[in-house]
Amino acid sequence: MTEANDPNCSVEDTLSRYLDAISNVTPECETIHIEDALSRILCEDIVIKSDYPSFDKALVDGFAIKSSDTRFADRRNPVTLKVIGEVALDSNERLVVQNGEAIRVSKGSLMPENADAVVKPVDVIEEDGVIKVLKSITTDTCVTKKGEDIRANSVFIRKNRKLRPQDIGGIIGTGIMQVKVFKKPVITIIPTGSELVPLDVEPDAGQIISSNGYVLKGFVEQIGGVGKIASIVGDDLNQVKNAISKALEVSDMVLISGGSSSGTRDYTVKAVESIGGADIIAHGVLMRPGHHALLAVVGNKPVIGLPGHPVSNMTVFQVFGKPVLRRLAGITRSFWQDRKETIKIDAFLSKDICSPEGVEDFIRVRLIEEDGRITAYPYTGEASFLSTLVKSHGMVRIPAECACLYKGDRVEVTLF
């Protein structure tokens, strides 16, 4: 077992050290059908093996022609071309157009051989099997050329992209039906505490329905993992240790809800320490809520101990669990992806909020649109109040070096 050097490190330093500790963890890949690939993370570049489109095609309905035939055409001196046939949209017949001829085409249909342009119906007069072209048409007018969109052997979509509906459509359009993606990381959530009861049990006085696990499971699956809630574990060192050891065998990451503090019945830290190869990165972070967070690595797998109070529990996951899970899911920490996955908006504080200097504070806020701008109403102090979880839309960070933020200040709100 390796212990953390500083039990009271800043949030930024602690997260940096924790991500460094799992830097050699490489997500596994799997090949799946494109129908199942929505919101999955690409494990490798998608390379198009042939030109797209694979043939020259008409960009509009009209007449395929040789542009040289219309070099001197205008309304006073139209050029007459004989219409010799038609290419239907679903036809693969390659007709041939010669000088003085035209072939009717539909938008998207295969261009006839020798034709290098399409003239629109508005630019011709059609009568008795011929068209009179009223303007000069240049080469490639209204034609989509073979390979114009994507060249053969070029990268279509790069690795680490979280696939969107339009990505799925684009991939299918190129003829690719199997894609290689990162496997969804499996996250086991262990609820601890002798006071907890399952959902289907009516709690007695002093008992609490176990709910934190379902909050964490929801966040895990929003990001792209598979959340599994283990059975409730009582306040017993051996039970907690056994539950963690069992979870590590079938998981990529373990979240332990409750028991991370320093009370006589808080066994999470001792249980993790007793497992061979455990590396305690931090136990105690200069933040609130969530000061007693435990960050460890066991057998190259992240293990996070989260406080039992609902808001502290959620805050620790947002600050530490989410970045780690994104790493395990194969999501790179680029600016664009961070902005997409963690939405932040500006708002104006409704009242002063203060925090002890030296501690990074995460304040839950409710957002209301007033007078054309968004006002953030803070919830302070009620670390375990369930109502604040439901009513709040996000959180405001008060930096460790800042004592207070004041009414009317513009603040950045990280949405849940």
Q: Which CATH number characterizes residue 168's domain?
A: 3.90.105.10
Asked, for residue 3, whether it belongs to a domain, the answer is no
Q: Are residues 61 and 126 in the same domain?
A: yes
Torsion-angle region of residue 290: left (phi > 0), alpha (psi -120 to 50) or beta? left
Mean pLDDT computed over 151-161: 94
Of 320, 315, 205, the C-alpha closest to 253 is 320
Among 34-38, 153-157, 296-300, 386-390, where is mean pLDDT lowest? 386-390
Print the domain residue range for 119: 57-144
Structure tokens at 217: 């499971």
Asked, for residue 6, whether it belongs to a domain, the answer is no
Of 232, 299, 312, 310, the C-alpha closest to 272 is 299
Asked, for residue 4, whether it belongs to a domain, the answer is no
Residue 340 has pLDDT above 50, yes or no: no
Q: Are residues 190 and 326 in the same domain?
A: yes
pLDDT of amino acid 339: 44
Asked, for residue 5, whether it belongs to a domain, the answer is no
Structure tokens at 340: 């997409």
- The amino acid at residue 246 is K
Structure tokens at 123: 């630019």
Asked, for residue 268, whether it belongs to a domain, the answer is yes
pLDDT of amino acid 358: 86
Query: Which of 50-83 are b and which e, b meaning 16 or more Cβ less than 10 Å from the residue's Cβ?
Result: ebbbeebbbbbbbbbbbbebbeebeeeebbebeb
Of 93, 99, 102, the C-alpha closest to 121 is 102
Distance separating alpha carbons of residues 217 and 189, to the nearest angstrom: 7
Query: Using one digit for the tens of pLDDT, what is the confidence trace for 301-310?
Result: 999 999 998 9
pLDDT of amino acid 8: 67
Q: Give the predicted TM-score (pTM) of the model.
A: 0.81
Tell me the average pLDDT of the chain: 91
Task: Give 334's pLDDT tier (boundaries 50, 70, 90).
Answer: very low
The count of C-alpha atoms lying within 13 angstroms of the C-alpha of 313, restricted to the half-sphere facing its C-beta, is 26
- Structure-model confidence comparison of residues 184 and 266, the more confident one: 184
Identify the sign of the CA torsion 304, 15, 218, 378.
positive
Of 248, 240, 297, the C-alpha closest to 1 is 297
- Identify whether the C-beta of residue 260 lies closer than 8 Å to the C-beta of residue 292: yes
Residue 338 has pLDDT above 70, yes or no: no
Q: Are residues 241 and 97 in the same domain?
A: no
Q: Are residues 42 and 175 in the same domain?
A: yes
Q: Are residues 239 and 275 in the same domain?
A: yes
* Domain-terminating residue out of 336, 352, 367: 336
Structure tokens at 225: 């993992």
Question: What is the pairing mode between strands 208-209 and 278-283?
Answer: unpaired
CATH, residue 304: 3.40.980.10
What percent of the chain clears pLDDT 90, i.e. is strictly above it?
A: 81
Residue 248 has pLDDT above 80, yes or no: yes
Q: Are residues 280 and 222 in the same domain?
A: yes
Query: Using one digit for the tens of pLDDT, what is the confidence trace for 366-385?
Result: 999 998 999 999 987 654 46
Structure tokens at 258: 């409750």
Distance separating alpha carbons of residues 336 and 158, to the nearest angstrom: 14
- Identify whether the C-beta of residue 111 lies closer than 8 Å to the C-beta of residue 60: no
* Domain-terminating residue out of 336, 368, 388: 336
Within 10 A of 187 (CB to CB), how many other CB atoms are there?
28
Q: Are residues 156 and 46 in the same domain?
A: yes
Q: Are residues 191 and 267 in the same domain?
A: yes
Domain count, the chain: 4
- The amino acid at residue 30 is E
Reduced 3-state DSSP string for the chain? CECCCCCCECHHHHHHHHHHHCCCCCCCEEEEEHHHCCCCEECCCEEECCCECCCCEECCCEEEECHHHHCCCCCCCCEEEEEEEEECCCCCCCCECCCCEEEEECCCCECCECCCEEECHHHEEEECCEEEECCCCCCCCCEECCCCCECCCEEEECCCCECCHHHHHHHHHCCCCEEEEECCCEEEEEEECCCEECCCCCCCCCCEECCHHHHHHHHHHHHCCEEEECCCECCCHHHHHHHHHHHHHHCCEEEEECCCCCCCCCCHHHHHHCCCCEEEEEECECEECCCCCEEEEECCEEEEEECCCHHHHHHHHHHHHHHHHHHHHCCCCCHHHHHHHCCEEEEEECCCEECCCCCEEEEEEEEEEECCEEEEEEECCCCCCHHHHHHCCEEEEECCCCCEECCCCEEEEEEC
Output phi, psi for 257, to 5 deg.
-95, 115
Q: Are residues 214 and 319 in the same domain?
A: yes
* Residues 6 or more apart in contact with residue 127 via CB below 8 angstroms: none
Q: Are residues 135 and 268 in the same domain?
A: no
Q: Which residue is associated with the tokens 């649109």?
A: 369
